[in-house]
Amino acid sequence: MIIAVTGGTGFFGSHLIKGLLDYGHHVILLKRSTSDLWRIKEFVSEVDMFDIDVTPLSVLYNRHSKINACIHTATDYGHAHNNIHNIFQTNVSLPFRLLSSLHSTGCKVFINTDTFYTFSQVQHDYMHMKTYILTKKHFREIGEKFSSLGNIKFINMKLFHLYGTMDGDKKFTTTP
């Protein structure tokens, strides 16, 4: 299968790509031109990389006329005090642009990685993550609605805390 992956230079995405390659899939990494490739350096030559921030999606579809599935793992938590525009672009705009354009090329499956945090938690303990939680909820609702109208299966996968080899040292420290 030909599988497009976003967020493949991050912790979860890099492990996902390695697993997909181990199972013989052709992987297209949709990344920013500024992405750090250190987590995938051992198998970067086996991945078709596409800089989504500088190259139009039409170039991707000209190169790969049939993409079977997309796994969207890219996310912006807002930890770096990113503005709401950047968080919205990463968590809503980018995945919707991919979902709708991949649907038009005949892609059959879009897997979205979601958060286990809920809106009720925002009101109590996680105010610092409000924008992240709301944008993830917003895209999940859009993806489910879009899937019901079209011919693409939208799978929403809620991730809990992940930690392991090549993860950040500050993962379980609080962000002011």
Copy the structure tokens of residue 114. Answer: 């979601």
Task: Kindly indicate the confidence band of residue 120, based on its pLDDT and cuts at 50, 70 and 90.
Answer: low
Locate 96 and state its tokens: 């919707």
* pTM tops 0.95, yes or no: no
CA distance 100 to 26: 21
What's the rounded Cα separation, in Å, for the pair 158 and 112?
8
- Which is more confidently placed, 5 or 176? 5
47-56: long-range contacts, CB 8 A cutoff, minimum separation 24 = 47/8, 47/17, 47/21, 52/6, 52/94
| Mean pLDDT (the chain, rounded) | 86
pLDDT at 130: 77
Q: Go through the chain and tell me how many residues it has.
A: 176
In the structure encoding, which two tokens stand for residue 161, read together?
């805390």
Residue 157: other Cβ atoms inside 10 A: 11
Task: Tell me the pLDDT tens digit for each residue of 64-106.
Answer: 989 999 999 998 888 766 688 999 999 999 999 999 999 989 9
* Domains of the chain, start order: 2-159 (3.40.50.720)
Task: Evaluate if residue 117 carries a pLDDT over 90.
Answer: no
- Tell me if 17 sits within 8 A of 5, measured CB to CB: yes
Confidence category of residue 47, pLDDT binned at 50, 70, 90: very high
Tell me, what's the pLDDT at 125? 61
Nearest to 76 by CA among 121, 131, 27, 144: 131
